[in-house]
Structure formats: C-alpha cells, structure tokens
Amino acid sequence: MEINKIVLRRMKLDLLSPFQTSFGVQTDREFMIVELHGESNIGYGECVASAKPLYSEETVGTVELMLKDILIPALLNEKAIKHPDELSEIFKPFRRNNMAKSALEGAYWDLYAKENNVPLHVALGGTKSETEVGVSIGIQDSTEELLKVVEGFLEEGYKRIKLKIKPGNDMVILKAVREKFPDIKMMADANSAYTLEDVELFKEMSEFNLMMIEQPLAHDDIIDHSKLQPEIQTPICLDESIHSLEDAKKAIGLGSCKIINIKIGRVGGLSEAKRIHDYCQSQDIPVWCGGMLESGIGRAHNIAISSLPNFTLPGDTAASSRYWHEDIITPEVVVEQGVISLPTAPGIGYDPNMELMEKYTTSIEEIIPQKMTS
Ligand code: OSB
Ligand code: MG
C-alpha cells in the first residue's frame, strides 16, 4: 500500500465526569491519533497511552518519540508489505512500547480494510453482527452516589457493571451494590492495588458472586496470581500483566487467571490481540475487550476486535456519551439495550468529524515519506 503522508495529532478531550481508579483520578484524556494517508483513503489509529505513566510505562510523549524515531522509519523502510499482520513482525526487534506500535498498526489495518473495501471487523475475521457491552465505573465519593450511578447505567441497558476498588474501598461498596441489585452481572477491578497478604479479603469476596476479579495483584506479576487463584472461588481476570501471546500462554499455563481482558494497545496491536484471542479460544479461556477511555477512533477499533467469536463476555467499550461532551467521530458510538451493532462501512466504519478533530487537536505534525527514485 502506498503511504503518501503520516499525520500525528496530539489531542485532548475533557471527561464528562472524573474517572477514579486505585492509581489516580482523571478529569481529561490526552492521547494521540495517527493518520496514514494512502492512495485514496486515510487509516486512523489511536494511541491509548496516557499523559502520565500510571497504568503502564508509556506516555503520550514517549509514544510520539517512538513513532517518529523508530516505528515510522521502520515501516517506511519496508517495501513489500502484503498484510497488516506483518507490522508486528517488523516492530518485533524493538522492545515493548506496545501502545506506540499499536497506534501505527491500527491505522495501517484501517487503511488496509478501506483499500480492500471491507469493514475492519470482517478483515480481522470477526463473526458477530453485534457485541454486548458493560460499563466500568470509577470510585465515587460515597456509596449513595455509586448506587445512583450504577442504577443509571442499568437503566441504560448495560449488560454488566464493573466497579473499581482499592484497599479501604472494596467490601463495603461491593456489598451495597450486590444487596441493591441481587441479580446483575457484576465484577471488580483492583488495578493491581493488593498483595497476597490480602487473600482473606478475596476469599470473603466470593459471597458477592462476582463474574471475576480483574488484576488484583501487581501489574507485572503472574506468579502471585497463580498462588491466589486456587485459594479463591472468584475467577481472576488479568489486565495489566498481559502484553503478548507469550504472556497469555504463561499465565494460563500457570493457572494465574481464568479470563483475559484484551486491550489492543497493551498487547501491541490488532494482530497480537487476535493471536491471544485464538489461543484463549483453544484453551477454553473466555476473553473480553477492555477500554482505556478511548475517543471514538480507539472505540471503533475495540468494537471491531470484539466481533471475534471468543469475545464471549461483555466488554468495557461503552457509548461515546458515557465519556464525552462530543466525540470526534460520526456517528458516535451508541449502545442500545447493552449492545453495539457492528458498523457496515469499510474500515473502522465511523468517520472522523474533521471539525471536531481540529477543535481538540493540541499539536500536529506531518511526515512526508521520501519517494524512492530507483
Ligand atoms: O483497568 O480497565 C482498566 C481505564 C483506564 C485505565 C485502565 C482501565 C480503565 C477502565 C475504563 O476500566 C475502561 C473504559 O471505560 O474505557
Ligand atoms: Mg483493568
């Protein structure tokens, strides 16, 4: 595929309400959009790294550097790419920096699907026409407030409720939500805030009949999780600890989890996300698509990967209106009765709203590839 221009946009959107996790409070989202301009289409990718390295080690700044110095030159240096799966091989010698790799690879996948005139989910081998979604709810100021927020999302039809917990803000809120809503699908996400010393707490949590507990222990651990899982009834789902197919194989092999949250950015792109999906399917490990408070562009990529058959549990890709005053795509992502319909247009299937893209762009850089003359 011909690439005539690459555009890197730094962007910033204000969140409708603050999002609090065990690692901090977020009131806005800084991120990067990568545009790959081809012969007659533009491919879009979103980088999910945040302003600060709190969830992972990458930031919007490190990603910009990686893209400009390493990944874009490596891509432009490759002459005969036939399929987007090859990008992960081209990037493989460069360690980690998965969110940077994923942003460029995602834009390439979108461009590839558009130039072949198929929806991205079809290009990825997706089999669904719709995907079920839940909602991830941040830590609230009070339990009363939390109950109100949960009720609102249930009324909107979300298929499961995920509650962020942290030490000192766990059993009480889980109990309150479970008592008020005895039958809902419910889970907790600790974002790495606990240690093996908390095993009794996790044993007690089984009374709340949680679908799963997400990433209870350290962000870089699979050993302690393998010790915790046999001690507790609640299935463990790993998020932060899984960066690759190899990580997934080791975690499953050790018995560190029974479910995996796949985030495209965390694993370095759509091709690796698909490989993890395929392996988990072969091992009877269900997966679901996590979220990183994406704008509509990242959201569209999440929706596309969620169309693969082993994404059997509701994901975190909620409606645009759950996060933003206005999203940067047309149409916005809508959730009806807890379900998103897969778009039918080529590529990611949502058009960037260029007026809003410009409005929320804080800086922009264009890279024009050197044309080879020989
Ligand atoms: O742990 O899944 C997480 C948001 C930012 C960073 C990490 C996580 C999250 C979420 C929100 O849970 C998911 C979303 O609604 O996009
Ligand atoms: Mg998580």
Question: Quick one: 282 and 137 in the same domain?
Answer: yes
179 and 172 in contact (C-beta within 8 Å)?
Answer: no
**Does the structure show a pLDDT above 50 at 305?**
yes
Question: Quick one: 79 and 162 in the same domain?
Answer: no
324 alpha carbon, closest ligand: 1
* Residue ranges around ligand 1 (CB below 6 Å): 55, 136, 189, 191, 239, 290-293, 316, 318
Q: DSSP 3-state assignment of 187?
A: strand
Distance from Cα 316 to the centre of ligand 1, integer Å: 7
Got the DSSP string for 18-80?
A: EEEETTEEEEEEEEEEEEEE-SS-EEEEEE--BSSTTSSS-BHHHHHHHIIIIIHHHHHT---
Question: Quick one: 100 and 178 in the same domain?
Answer: no
CATH number for the domain spanning 50: value is 3.30.390.10
Q: pTM of the full predicted structure?
A: 0.97
Question: Quick one: 146 and 181 in the same domain?
Answer: yes
Question: Quick one: 271 and 165 in the same domain?
Answer: yes
Confidence (pLDDT) at 370: 86
- Report how far residue 168's alpha carbon sits from residue 154's, in angstroms, rounded to the nearest whole number: 25
- Report how far residue 46's alpha carbon sits from residue 220's, in angstroms, rounded to the nearest whole number: 24
Structural domain of 313: 122-352
Confidence (pLDDT) at 374: 47
For residue 322, the ligand 1 atom closest to its alpha carbon is 15
Distance from Cα 61 to the centre of ligand 2, integer Å: 22
How does pLDDT run across 53-108, given as a tens digit for each residue?
Answer: 999 999 999 999 999 999 999 999 998 999 999 999 999 999 999 999 999 999 99
Task: Give the chain's domain count.
Answer: 2
**Does the structure show a pLDDT above 90 at 278?**
yes
Question: Does the bond joining 343 to the residue before it have cis omega, within 30 degrees of 0?
Answer: no
Question: Quick one: 95 and 162 in the same domain?
Answer: no
Question: Quick one: 167 and 272 in the same domain?
Answer: yes
Confidence (pLDDT) at 79: 84
Distance from Cα 238 to the centre of ligand 2, integer Å: 8
Average of per-residue pLDDT across 234-254: 98
Question: Quick one: 175 and 208 in the same domain?
Answer: yes
- Report how far residue 96's alpha carbon sits from residue 320's, in angstroms, rounded to the nearest whole number: 29
Question: Quick one: 25 and 143 in the same domain?
Answer: no
Catalytic residues: 164, 263
CATH number for the domain spanning 157: value is 3.20.20.120
Question: Quick one: 108 and 176 in the same domain?
Answer: no
Token output for 73: 């030159």
**Does the structure show a pLDDT above 70 at 372?**
no
For residue 135, the ligand 1 atom closest to its alpha carbon is 15
Question: Quick one: 100 and 131 in the same domain?
Answer: no
Question: Quick one: 348 and 358 in the same domain?
Answer: no
